Amino acid sequence: MFSNEAFAVMHISNFRLFMAYRFFMTAAVLMQAVIVGWQLYDITIFVGSSNELGAFESGAAAILIGLVPSVIFGGVMTLIVVGVATFSAPRLRNLLLKNYSD
């Protein structure tokens, strides 16, 4: 089937090291792809469930107090939260995002 000449290169130690390096580097890249994919999946599940909880909360508020009052209440509460965060955290108010960009 195969001649011994085909595997003669395996007698060279540097070639064997090179082949081992290629094998382990390929395995490492594949493992990294799986790990990054799993992390993204984990993050999107968390973000997706957060959005679904918010949609449920908005729907429940609309059923309980009506559509227009729940929209007005949600807008007012958003402005209150932003105002409290602005005045309670002055470092956020003075934050310049251009200092953190790549």
- Residue 92: what pLDDT? 72
Residues 44, 7, single domain; the answer is yes
- Counting runs of H as helices and runs of E as strands, what totals does the chain give? 3, 0
Which pTM value belongs to this model?
Answer: 0.41
Asked if 36 and 24 count as a contact pair (C-beta separation under 8 A), the reply is no
Each residue's pLDDT tens digit, 15-49: 999 999 999 999 998 898 888 887 777 776 666 66
What is the percentage of the chain residues whose pLDDT exceeds 90?
A: 18
In this structure, the answer to whether residues 90 and 45 fall within a common structural domain is no
74 CB-contact burial (10 Å; exposed 0-12 / middle 13-18 / buried 19+): middle
57 and 70 in a single domain? The answer is no
Expressed as residue numbers, the domain containing 9 is 1-65
Residues 44 and 90 in one domain: no
HSE, side-chain direction, 13 A CA sphere, residue 73: 11
* Mean pLDDT over each residue of the chain, to the nearest integer: 81
